[in-house]
Amino acid sequence: MKLNQQTAALALCTLLGVSVFAGCGRSGDFSELQPAVNKIEYTNLNDSGSRELLKELLSDTGVSDGRIQSFFRRVDHFNDSVKQEWLTDGFEEAELLYTKYDPYAMQDEWTAKNGTFPGYNCRITAMNLFGDFLSVSADSQINAGEDVLFVDEETLKTDPDALGGSSLADFRALYSSMKAEDTTEIKRHVQTVQEEWASRGVTFRENERIRLITVFFHDKPTEEESLLFVGHVGVLLTAKDGTLYFVEKVAFQEPYRMLRFADRTALSDYLMGKYDTSWGQDTASPFIMENDELMDGWRPNTEGGAFTDHVLSGGDEEYCKSFRKHQPEG
């Protein structure tokens, strides 16, 4: 019987695991793989209950009152600019990619009330919330590739306070694109991010309750160029009971969200379900950094996309490693 692509990919990972993962301390086979998430639970912070929950979470982790107030002013600005039926009423459950709004209609609504001001995106929002846990050396050197921050900087010219007290120099050090090798090997790209952030003097203050979650994309603008850039970013908060909350701004003219997850693999499935959607490309799959390390729980989109292409073509070990890591114990 002919194996389908995903079965073949998992079988290949199993074979690789014999030699690659002998020292990982986990057992089991890929038939026990945690099922991919196909539903999410989220709020647009348009109700008092979810707002108070987030304020408490942020305060408990040590985010300053000024940054919290700055964040909610911009949440209110956005929510007041769009139709209320497009937003949640507290936490709601939805299919992974479902939205209650048409993005183009929402953009039109925003523009009608805000003119040419583009609004705030994920990078600005995350910097506002996470800035207290990030430092950048004064002599930071940026070896950037293509400029991907020009719209962000248009917003910051109009509203420089949107970074919550962080500087534009820090913003550029964290988010400017990075020159990268022309490879699909995730392990090498992770090293590039770590080395480039180190050369820019970017360091993360350790706090288990709040983490920066960054989705990196690999792009080849020309045959000669290869770069990594931050395609999406948000802040991960851990409640006292261990529940995970991911705070993001979906896009410039799309809503703020707080999502609730049981574990990091579920968060990975949400993000990769949105962003790991290409087949047959000669660039690497998106990957997720938690602060300056590959996120524990990251895995590519198991429904297809870059995962099947990459593993079946002899892709790097990081894919199989992430699958093995999340087998149930025993």
Interval 16-69: pLDDT, tens: 333 333 333 333 333 247 888 889 999 999 999 999 999 999 999 999 999 999
The residue behind tokens 């400017």 is 176
Residue 180 belongs to a domain: yes
pLDDT of residue 31: 28
Is residue 80 pLDDT above 80, yes or no? yes
Q: What Rg value do the Cα atoms of the chain yield, rounded?
A: 20
Closest residue by Cα to residue 189 from 21, 319, 311, 305: 319
Closest residue by Cα to residue 130 from 237, 215, 265, 49: 237
When pLDDT is cut at 50, 70 and 90, the band that residue 9 belongs to is very low
Residue 19 belongs to a domain: no
Is residue 209 pLDDT above 70, yes or no? yes
Is residue 122 pLDDT above 50, yes or no? yes
Residue 147 belongs to a domain: yes
Query: Higher-confidence residue: 1 or 284?
Result: 284
- For residues 284 and 183, the answer to whether their CB atoms sit within 8 Å is yes
**CA-based angle 169:251:104, to the nearest 5?**
140
Residue 22 belongs to a domain: no
| Total count of residues recorded for the chain | 330
Closest residue by Cα to residue 20 from 317, 304, 248, 330: 317
Residue 20 belongs to a domain: no
Pick the range with the lowest mean pLDDT from 96-105, 133-142, 168-177, 267-276: 133-142
Residue 73 belongs to a domain: yes
How much is the pTM? 0.83
Pick the range with the lowest mean pLDDT from 110-124, 200-214, 312-326: 312-326
Predicted confidence (pLDDT) per residue in 238-291, tens digit: 999 999 999 999 999 999 999 999 999 999 999 999 999 877 788 999 999 999
Is residue 200 pLDDT above 90, yes or no? yes
Is residue 147 pLDDT above 90, yes or no? no
By three-state DSSP, how is residue 148 classified?
coil
Mean pLDDT of 78-99: 96
pLDDT of residue 280: 77
Residue 159 belongs to a domain: yes
Is residue 198 pLDDT above 60, yes or no? yes
Residue 8 belongs to a domain: no
Mean pLDDT of 224-250: 96
Q: Count the domains in the chain.
A: 1
CA 155, CA 117: separation in Å to the nearest integer?
Answer: 7
Q: What is the domain range of residue 230?
A: 36-324
Is residue 120 pLDDT above 60, yes or no? yes
CA 1, CA 192: separation in Å to the nearest integer?
Answer: 42
